[in-house]
């Protein structure tokens, strides 16, 4: 059972990497054009993917539990988006970039690791936010 799960995850990861690379999400220049609104193709692809997920969640009847937005969501989203725009990749994209031979993405991976550690430290020292299901 564990072996089948591992194989399924490897196949899904390779398929995702192939798809993401062919769409252009692994290319810094493409991402820069998306974030500066020079080329809306990738932005529309992203919006389409979100739309598909909304439909799938509706069909599967996945519901968000009612309640407040976690205090860390807004600043976390701003930091995530800023880092994505600067580095040209969310946490998964630099792995695809390195696999494609774009070695400067190693700096992004190091930044993600440092950012996670800083988040743990800042939360423990200053914010004391409930980690909830996020597992900060």
**pTM for the predicted model, two decimal places:** 0.65
Average confidence score pLDDT of the chain: 83
pLDDT at 136: 44
Contact criterion met (CB below 8 Å) for 90 and 84: yes
Confidence band of 98 (pLDDT split at 50, 70, 90): confident
Contact criterion met (CB below 8 Å) for 97 and 26: yes
Nearest alpha-carbon partner for 113 in 124, 105, 125, 101:
105
């Amino acid at each position: 059972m564990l072996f089948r799960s591992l194989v399924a995850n490897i196949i899904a990861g390779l398929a995702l990497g192939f798809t993401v690379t062919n769409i252009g999400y692994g290319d810094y220049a493409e991402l820069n054009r998306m974030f500066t609104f020079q080329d809306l193709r990738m932005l529309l692809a992203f919006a389409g993917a979100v739309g598909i997920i909304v439909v799938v969640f509706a069909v599967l009847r996945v519901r968000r539990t009612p309640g407040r937005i976690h205090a860390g969501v807004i600043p976390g989203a701003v930091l995530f988006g800023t880092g994505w725009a600067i580095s040209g990749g969310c946490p998964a994209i630099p792995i695809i970039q390195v696999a494609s031979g774009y070695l400067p993405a190693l700096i992004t991976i190091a930044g993600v690791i440092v950012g996670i550690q800083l988040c743990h430290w800042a939360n423990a020292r200053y914010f004391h936010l409930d980690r909830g299901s996020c597992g900060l």
